[in-house]
């Protein structure tokens, strides 16, 4: 099954207010296509990190829409995100955090995208037609 959801940033609203719709969208797909529980968790995590990142950093740069498309595969989900915010390559434009630093020197910056880049497979980004296009695959039990 293949389904899409459009997220429109709401002026003045916290980015996290978009989360319940994303979770409901994932759970509906998961139920219809019988996803494994860890596939549901991974898909939710990947979408939360990417979409909140876009809503937080893209809204000041003309962002008006994020289109989320999920397509069920064999124990996997292909996720496509297209947004019209400022050009941003989540695979390369933000360095991975140093995950070896001691406790008091650690900061949380960049950890969300690091989780996505590590957990997802077949990641591909391009900027075309004035939009960011990101495709990746979440896989169960990897």
Q: Which residues bind other proteins (CB under 8 A)?
A: 15-17, 19-20, 38, 41-42, 44-45, 48-49, 52, 99-104, 106-108, 111-112, 114-115, 118-119
Do 133 and 127 meet the contact criterion of CB atoms below 8 Å apart? yes
**CB-based contacts of 72, cutoff 8 Å, min separation 6:** 1, 2, 29, 33, 35
Smallest distance, other proteins to C-beta of residue 65, A? 20
Smallest distance, other proteins to C-beta of residue 88, A? 17
Q: What is the C-alpha end-to-end distance of the chain, expressed in Å?
A: 22
Do 58 and 90 meet the contact criterion of CB atoms below 8 Å apart? no
Smallest distance, other proteins to C-beta of residue 135, A? 21
Query: Given the complex with other proteins, which of 74 and 100 has the nearer CB atom?
Result: 100
Query: Given the complex with other proteins, which of 52 and 137 has the nearer CB atom?
Result: 52
Residue 114 three-state SS: helix
């Amino acid at each position: 099954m293949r389904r899409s959801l459009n997220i429109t940033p709401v002026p003045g609203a916290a980015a996290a207010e978009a989360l319940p719709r994303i979770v409901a969208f994932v759970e509906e797909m998961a139920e219809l296509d019988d996803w494994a529980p860890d596939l549901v968790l991974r898909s939710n995590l990947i979408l939360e990190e990417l979409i909140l990142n876009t809503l937080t950093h893209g809204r000041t740069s003309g962002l008006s829409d994020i289109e989320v498309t999920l397509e069920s595969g064999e124990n996997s989900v292909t996720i496509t995100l297209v947004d019209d915010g400022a050009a941003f390559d989540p695979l390369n434009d933000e360095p991975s955090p140093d995950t070896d630093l001691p406790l008091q020197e650690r900061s949380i910056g960049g950890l969300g995208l690091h989780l996505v880049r590590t957990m997802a497979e077949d990641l591909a980004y391009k900027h075309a037609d004035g939009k960011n296009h990101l495709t990746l695959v979440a896989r169960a039990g990897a």
